[in-house]
């Protein structure tokens, strides 16, 4: 996987074009991606469509011995639903890290399926055996 320069889909595009076998994950990069889409929604949307076979949805959510599982589950569901809404609809999404809401990308279902599970199944093919 790749930790990508979250501040620029243009730089990530150049990297992916240069290294055709590289993939990337979205862990802890959603607000940066959403910030960019506030400025140029179509550029970010086109990025996801173009590189749909190389992006995996992920989070950096973790737990430790102080974690309250019920609260963690609630938080994970909130994060997942907010991200899902951003990718799947054109509705305005509230992002805690941003001052103003961001419009969803309305990505095609085929792209969503790849980002959320098909790419992970392909990349980590042995993990589900």
Rounded-to-integer distance, Cα 129 and Cα 127, Å = 6
Which residues pair with residue 25 across a beta bridge?
Answer: 56
Q: Are 85 and 104 in contact (CB under 8 A)?
A: yes
Whole-model pTM: value is: 0.88
Q: Are 33 and 44 in contact (CB under 8 A)?
A: yes
Give the C-alpha distances (Å, rounded to integers) separating 34 from 21, 25, 115. Answer: 25, 15, 16
> What is the reported pLDDT for 121?
93
Tokens of 97: 């890290």
Q: Per-residue pLDDT tens for 72-124? A: 999 999 989 999 999 999 999 998 888 999 999 999 999 999 999 999 999 98
Q: Per-residue pLDDT tens for 13-68? A: 999 999 999 999 888 778 889 999 999 999 999 999 999 999 999 888 888 889 89
> What is the reported pLDDT for 4?
57
DSSP state of 118: I
Q: Which residues contact 114 (CB under 8 A, 6 or more apart)?
A: 52, 53, 55
3-state helix, strand, coil in the chain (%, to 5): 55, 5, 40
Helices 9-18 and 41-50 cross at an angle (nearest 10°) of 20
């Amino acid at each position: 996987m790749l930790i990508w320069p979250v501040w620029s889909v243009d730089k990530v595009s150049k990297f992916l074009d240069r290294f055709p076998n590289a993939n990337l994950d979205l862990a802890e990069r959603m607000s940066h991606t959403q910030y960019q889409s506030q400025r140029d929604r179509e550029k970010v949307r086109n990025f996801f469509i173009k590189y749909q076979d190389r992006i995996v949805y992920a989070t950096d959510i973790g737990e430790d011995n102080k974690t309250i599982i019920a609260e963690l589950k609630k938080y994970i569901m909130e994060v997942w639903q907010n991200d899902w809404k951003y990718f799947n609809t054109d509705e305005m999404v509230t992002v805690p890290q941003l001052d103003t809401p961001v419009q969803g990308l309305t990505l095609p279902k085929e792209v969503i399926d790849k980002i959320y599970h098909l790419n992970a199944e392909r990349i980590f093919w042995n993990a589900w055996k």
